Structure 1
Amino acid sequence: MTSNDIRFDCRHRSDGGPLVIVPRIDGALLTELIDGFEIAAGMQPAGDAYGGLIPEFFRFGPMQDHFIGRSTNAMGPKTPVLGCECGEWGCWPLMARITVTTDLVTWDAFEQPHRATRDYAAFGPFQFDRHPYDDALRALSEVIGSGVDDARV
């Protein structure tokens, strides 16, 4: 299997609000990827339901820990990779199992916990080479710490 590329878009909400983090996989925003999947699968509701994670609204802990599945607040075996478009991750999250090895980081077993009957088996898995993944997380942490307004890292 070929490796996927990951980056993180960091933007302030259009209302000038807090910083929002959206993973970008192989150049496409994860919000767009999941919208396309849910719409194609005939899921309702679908489309424009997800938004990025807003660290200011919830204490995820360092994003470097969060995106390797070690968020400081226990959320069960899965990690929220997207939140609701309203800004609250618990409202409508996209959860994933994040598995980390020496060489790879894998996102799989996606779920929408408020719709347990939905089948996400055909979404993903996404596999990332560990070193570029760690580089993307370091860049994300630098942007969060720097106060930069908008960045793709």
Structure 2
Amino acid sequence: MTSHDIRFDWQHRGDGGPLVIVPRIDGAPLTELIDGFEIAAGMRPAGNAYGGLIPEFFRFGPMRDHFLGRSTNAMGPKTPVLGCACGEWGCWPLMARITATADLVTWDAFEQPHREARDYVAFGPFQFDRHPYDDALQALSSVIGSDVNDTRA
């Protein structure tokens, strides 16, 4: 399996609003990748439904743990990698199984839990070399560590 490149984009929503995190795989935002997949598969609704995760709106715990599939809040066996375009992750999440080993991190078994009949088998899997993945998480953590107010629910 080919190894993919990952980065985490972060920007403030609106003018000084909360920080929004969007994974970028092989240079493309995950929001664009999933929109393209859902539209091509004829899913409805599709396109512009997803947005990044907003840690300020939900206590995901440390983003490093979250994106290694070890979120501190029990969300079941899968991890939200995107939220809804409205900003609330639970409204329209893209969930994935994140499996981390000493050498690799794999995102697979994607699902949209509000549309259980949708088939995401052909989306992914995305496999990342562990050291560059950890570097991307460290870059994210260094930016958001001082930027996120983790006291809000």
* TM-score bucket of the superposed structures, by smaller chain: over 0.9
Rounded to whole Å, the distance in 1 between the matches of 2:39 and 2:109 is 19
Rounded to whole Å, the distance in 1 between the matches of 2:16 and 2:141 is 20
1:73-120 deviations in Å (ceiling 9; x for gaps): 000000000000000000000000000111000000000000000000
Aligned ranges 1:1-150 → 2 under 5 Å? 1-147=1-147
Rounded to whole Å, the distance in 1 between the matches of 2:25 and 2:143 is 18
1:112-146 deviations in Å (ceiling 9; x for gaps): 00000000000000000000000100110001024
- 1:151 maps to which residue? none
Shift of residue 16, structure 1, vs aligned partner? 2.9
Instruction: Give unpaired runs (5+ residues) of structure 1.
Output: 149-153
1:36-93 deviations in Å (ceiling 9; x for gaps): 0000000000000000000000000000000000000000000000000000000000
TM-score by length of 2: 0.94
- 2:37 aligned counterpart, secondary structure: helix
Rounded to whole Å, the distance in 2 between the matches of 1:128 and 1:122 is 17
Q: Which runs of 4+ in 1 moved over 4 A?
A: none
AA aligned opposite 1:89: W
AA aligned opposite 1:63: M
Rounded to whole Å, the distance in 1 between the matches of 2:28 and 2:17 is 23
**Identity of counterpart residues, as a percentage?**
88
Rounded to whole Å, the distance in 1 between the matches of 2:26 and 2:112 is 22
Instruction: Give unpaired runs (5+ residues) of structure 2.
Output: 149-153
